[in-house]
Structure 1
Amino acid sequence: MSTVYLPPRLFKRATLSLAALALLVLMVGVAVGVGELPIPLQTTFDSISNKLGLSAVPVNRIHETVIWDFRLSRALVAACSGAGLALCGVVLQCLLKNALAEPYVLGVSAGASAGAVSVVVLGLGTGAVSLSAGAFTGAFAAFVFVALLTNGARGGSERTILAGVAASQLFNAVTAYIISTSANAQQARDVMFWLLGSFSGVRWPEFSLVLTVVLLGLAVCLWYAKALDAFTFGEDAAASLGIPVGPIRLILFSITALMAATIVSMAGSIGFVGLVVPHVMRYFFGPLHRPLLLASAVAGALFMMLADIVSRTAIAPQTLPVGVVTSLVGVPFFAVILYRARRSA
């Protein structure tokens, strides 16, 4: 009987892929099982297997309803959101050559929040402009604002962060003004909780949308992985290799804005995922962007599902906004990066 031989590199990739898939499946099962009504891991997998037509195992009706109507869609949206935000962080850190770049720090999340709140509270474009479209408009406006402040300026790394802080303050002020002047008490409470990050209201339609957007974003980023490798050495180096710098930057910025806006429109402004995950994955997988993008997407999905689990269990029966959990991890990490940058300067 002949055996199939795999080169060491392919064997390593296959092993890592299987391990990542197993971790994702296990984390989804854990996320579905945690809550006021604990659901055994085996019950979750039996219910999914039954739904896919792979088995016919008897499952408790209440458990099955909780799994399919509430928790599974929430866990999958959290996974897609984490993957998307991590991809945004990888791309922005490369294009801006800034270790602190990510949608939250650069004001993109604040811009998306302002756009989404304008649609919800003010009713702008009702019937024609969806929540995601409003969030995308706000996110792109934040990108333009940061680009205008940093265009042609020296010391781009520091100026980019300062421009991002200014964008965050501006769009957060716009959001606060809209809520203060136009929202009723219930709207204000719901919007403020949503802005801190929450997956409590997401269902299967939201999963379909965010999955499509994140898969599209991943495909575009992988397509331009070699261009991202070239951007690591600067735009002049990329241009010398024949890479059309301007069009590729526009495409990657646009897909980043699209992913960030879609996630914000569903789950609110969740910070620091795009900062923490790419740096950790870069430490393990190196600077080449093809493996880095894939690893960051998987790690981002795992991190966000874990953060959602903590948000539901830390102060049970109440729910802690998931953005608070990610900030508790991200702020110390942010401080460490700033300290290391200061020492190396």
Structure 2
Amino acid sequence: MTLTRKPRPTAGRASAAPLAALALLAAGIGVVIVSGATGTVDVTVAESFKIVAGHLLPNLPWMSDGSLTPLQDQAVWQFRLPRTLLAGVAGAGLALAGALMQALVRNPLAEPYLLGVSAGAGVGAVAVITLGAAAVGLTLSGAAFAGALGAAVAVYLLARQGGVVAPTRLILSGVALGSLLSAVTSYLTITTEAQNVFSILFFLLGSVAAATWTQLAVPAAALAIVLVFARLRSRSLNALQVGDETATALGVDVNRFRSQLLVACALLTGAVVAVSGGIGFVGLVVPHISRIAVGADHRRMLPVAVLGGAVFLMAADLAARTVAAPTEIPIGIVTAAVGAPFFLWLMRRGRASGAGMHR
């Protein structure tokens, strides 16, 4: 007698989506508060909560009774909170871009950097570090964003043939262009002065250490716009997973929709990479885990993936600050070191069958 594993009921997975979203939201708030209490300036978890609440809600008594020092307030509100929120926005953006990229090419192994966008951002940022902002004419973030958009446009033009964006050509073009741009980055790195190498490595491996409130605006706006677009087109995303012919029969203009997805992924990834560097693994793993938890229906999977990506990267940044304190390690090292074994554990347990691309 042969025993087979029964698939998880769809209704049960659908009902799990709101609970998963609420749990992730609560976890995210908890990470924000704990992160605010972590650093060289002594701040307790309770004091961190009071400072954040005091800036969000008016006339709270502890903001003026002298129980909190100006140094504590500055450490939490001006330095730690923007950093944690930027990590959250970056994680949410990478997870969303990963989910859309996997739908775009119908490949569960796809991730945001498949387009060569990260490599393009790397070239722009490294050019500023090695040549100087005056020579390039842009700030580091501006040059990284410009490089990311340039790479995305190049991949789109290379993948488009006969007015059609073919998934296979898109993957091959992205891999080839990414390799070329990575070679340019390596050349700039080995020919620059030794003191620049550390800054280059920190950007390429990802960091939000220098986050400010103003840096949050662009990636947060990009995340909001792409998330609204994805939610409005979630049915089209579901149809795309079944196949081009079925999607066309359901009224989806497949080629036009793929072009829109490509633009959305490129803009979102570029906006994130420009301020956080090359943080890998989030866009590959988080969408998979979200599908395992709540199913592949994008209407319920996308919110869970966005919240999951935010919590994962905020927690990874907290670990990057504390694991080797007082030395800080790049956040990309943490995401790979933690995410890869966890994902392999899921695969070994045989639970990744729900991470497929079909509903």
- RMSD value over aligned CA atoms? 3.3
Q: Tell me if structure 1 keeps the 8 A contact 2:124–2:147.
A: yes
The reply to whether residue 41 of structure 1 matches residue 45 of structure 2 is: yes
SS at match of 1:99: coil
299, 305, 308: which is aligned to 2:308?
299
Q: CA deviation at 1:102?
A: 0.5
SS at match of 1:311: helix
TM-score by length of structure 1 reads 0.84
Equivalence for 1:31: 35
SS at match of 1:35: coil
Give the 3 Å change call, closer, same or farther, for CA 129–317 of structure 1 in structure 2: closer
257, 260, 266: which is aligned to 1:257?
266
Q: Tell me if structure 1 keeps the 8 A contact 2:105–2:168.
A: no
Give the 3 Å change call, closer, same or farther, for CA 304–54 of structure 1 in structure 2: farther
The reply to whether residue 235 of structure 1 matches residue 239 of structure 2 is: no
Q: Tell me if structure 1 keeps the 8 A contact 2:84–2:314.
A: yes
The reply to whether residue 323 of structure 1 matches residue 332 of structure 2 is: yes
Equivalence for 1:50: 54
The reply to whether residue 109 of structure 1 matches residue 118 of structure 2 is: yes
Q: CA deviation at 1:271?
A: 0.3
Aligned pairs for 1:3-14 within 5 A: none
Equivalence for 1:87: 96
CA distance in 2, matches of 1:215, 1:137: 20
Q: CA deviation at 1:332?
A: 4.5
Q: CA deviation at 1:24?
A: 1.7
Q: Tell me if structure 2 keeps the 8 A contact 1:73–1:204.
A: yes
The reply to whether residue 73 of structure 1 matches residue 77 of structure 2 is: no
Q: Tell me if structure 2 keeps the 8 A contact 1:94–1:232.
A: yes
CA distance in 1, matches of 2:115, 2:344: 16
TM-score by length of structure 2 reads 0.81
Per mean C-alpha deviation after superposition, the further-off stretch among 9-18 and 204-213 is: 9-18
The reply to whether residue 22 of structure 1 matches residue 26 of structure 2 is: yes
Can you list the C-alpha shifts for 1:159-201, whole angstroms capped at 9, x where unaligned?
76665543332111111223344x4443332122221111111
Per mean C-alpha deviation after superposition, the further-off stretch among 61-70 and 111-120 is: 111-120
Residue identity matched to 2:240: F
CA distance in 2, matches of 1:18, 1:287: 19
266, 286, 305: which is aligned to 2:295?
286
Q: CA deviation at 1:69?
A: 1.8
Per mean C-alpha deviation after superposition, the further-off stretch among 306-315 and 79-88 is: 306-315
Which runs of no fewer than 5 residues in structure 1 stay unpaired?
A: 1-7
Per mean C-alpha deviation after superposition, the further-off stretch among 215-224 and 332-341 is: 332-341
Matched pairs, number: 331
| Same amino acid, percent of matched pairs | 38
CA distance in 2, matches of 1:157, 1:198: 31
Q: CA deviation at 1:119?
A: 4.7
Which runs of no fewer than 5 residues in structure 2 stay unpaired?
A: 1-11
